[in-house]
């Protein structure tokens, strides 16, 4: 996965966005010239409006509805992922919406937890040099602006429980089933 070095939010940035269907419901995708900056689950009209307000506030830029240009690559790769044809994302990422420890944890997750595997919160904390920070890792997962592409669904409890998930546990189950970690639901 290609990662962009990032700074902080910058004035005047153009943010392209689109809502697309997926097997886990509508997803809002947003990108800047630096790369994919946001993926939002369950992007019905109410969720979409709140997410766009947050993006405008955080990035301070112009929001443009578009399914081409900056979003073409991420859209192709997400479609391939949900079709079972892609196991590793290779899109530029704009890390502007996450900083410090959370960014460190999310980068480790993106680069070190491959398709079809899971990692515990404590193990991920150990990997970033903070073995006592399992709860902070959970908070980092909750702040992940790029779910699916930065696979927070692959982080589970040490006892094998699913743990929490910003997109809801049913969404987490579906993503783990897609990757072969869990069986497909019977109905």
The reply to whether 152 belongs to the active site is yes
What is the per-residue burial (b if ≥16 Cβ within 10 Å, else e) of 25-35? Answer: bbbbbbbbebb
* Beta-sheet pairing, 119-120 with 27-32: unpaired
DSSP summary character for residue 32: E
Question: Do residues 110 and 73 make contact, with C-beta atoms less than 8 angstroms apart?
Answer: no
H-state helical runs in the chain: 45-59, 72-82, 100-112, 121-127, 134-142, 169-178
Residue from 152, 155, 156, 175 carrying the catalytic annotation: 152
Residues identified as active-site: 152
């Amino acid at each position: 996965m290609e990662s962009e070095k990032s700074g902080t939010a910058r004035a005047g940035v153009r943010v392209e966005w689109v809502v697309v269907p997926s097997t886990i419901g509508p997803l809002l995708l947003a990108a800047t010239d630096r790369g994919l900056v946001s993926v939002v689950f369950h992007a019905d009209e109410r969720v979409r409006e709140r997410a766009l307000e947050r993006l405008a506030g955080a990035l301070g830029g112009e929001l443009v509805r578009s399914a081409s240009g900056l979003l073409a690559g991420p859209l192709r790769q997400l479609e391939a992922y949900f079709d079972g044809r892609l196991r590793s994302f290779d899109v530029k990422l704009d890390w502007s919406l996450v900083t410090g420890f959370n960014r460190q944890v999310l980068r480790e997750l993106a680069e070190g937890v491959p398709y079809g595997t899971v990692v515990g919160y404590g193990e991920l904390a150990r990997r970033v040099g903070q073995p006592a920070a399992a709860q902070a890792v959970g908070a980092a997962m909750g702040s992940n602006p790029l779910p699916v592409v930065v696979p927070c669904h692959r982080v589970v409890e040490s006892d094998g429980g699913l743990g929490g998930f910003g997109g809801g546990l049913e969404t987490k189950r579906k993503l783990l089933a897609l990757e072969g970690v869990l069986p497909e639901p019977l109905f």
